[in-house]
Amino acid sequence: MTTVPAPAGLGGRTAPRWGPLIAGLLVVAAGVAWLLDGLGVPVPWRVLPAVGLLAVGLAVLVLRRVPGALAAAGVLLLIAAILAALPVRRYAGPVGQRSVAPAATEWPVHTVVGIGELRVDLTERALPAGGRMEVAVGIGKLSLTVPAGGPVRVVSAVGSGDIEVDGRSVDNGIDAGWTQAGAGPAVDIDARVGLGLIEVWHE
């Protein structure tokens, strides 16, 4: 008769499933914080995702493995921590896709898309001398097309993501940035994305 070995753990008992347990504790902690906030107790919401992410990291170090539930909690907390670090007011805007090709009389330009895609084309119309443009996308993609060799200065930054110039990645990760200098009375463009991608094309 074949003897089936007892499950691993002390006294043959099954070892606790730490992934769901820790994920549950994180949910409970978020609920307690929400309750305190409703009762008028100040809660540092912007810090909580980073604290939770630290707790998940410590749990992984202790367990020396990454359970599925713990990995999912870590991914969600990482996204929440990145979003919490973004200056929300800068990226407050509509959701969806928008295209911008301003005439010379429409400068200065300030356009924001909260979540989605923003396409800016500066090759269709004449550019004003010394014009300024500020364009931003909270989560998504910003595509900027500028005249090759034209009087355009570009300062671009991504909180977390990638910056591509003419189809080639020039910087990626956290706080990615890329600049293009322009001589003379150039047009100044400030392009920013909180989480996502900036594409710059020269035509």
94 and 180 co-located in one domain: yes
Q: Token pair of 90, please?
A: 């800068």
81 and 115 co-located in one domain: no
Answer whether residue 15 shows pLDDT above 60: no
Answer whether residue 87 shows pLDDT above 90: no
Give me the pLDDT at residue 10, please: 47
Looking up tokens 């500028």, which residue turns up?
Answer: 146
Q: Confirm whether pTM is higher than 0.85.
A: no
Q: Is residue 1 part of a domain?
A: no
Contact, 18 vs 73, CB < 8 A?
no
Q: How far apart are CA 97 and CA 114, in angstroms?
A: 10
pLDDT, tens digit (0-9, with 9 covering 90-100), for 102-148:
988 889 999 999 889 999 999 988 888 788 999 999 889 999 999 98
Answer whether residue 6 shows pLDDT above 60: no
Q: How far is CA 182 from CA 156, 158, 178, 190, in A?
A: 14, 21, 13, 13
Chain mean pLDDT for the chain: 77
Give me the pLDDT at residue 43, please: 60
106 and 78 co-located in one domain: no
pLDDT, tens digit (0-9, with 9 covering 90-100), for 17-29:
555 666 666 667 6
147 and 175 co-located in one domain: yes
Give me the pLDDT at residue 32, please: 75
Give the total number of structural domains in the chain.
2
Q: What are phi and psi of 65, to 5 degrees?
A: -160, 170
Task: Supply the range of the domain harboring residue 144.
Answer: 90-202
Percentage of the chain exceeding pLDDT 90: 31
Between 86-90, 99-103, 132-136, 172-176, the lowest mean confidence (pLDDT) is in 86-90
pLDDT tier at 170 (50, 70, 90 boundaries)? very high
Q: Position 104: which residue type?
A: A
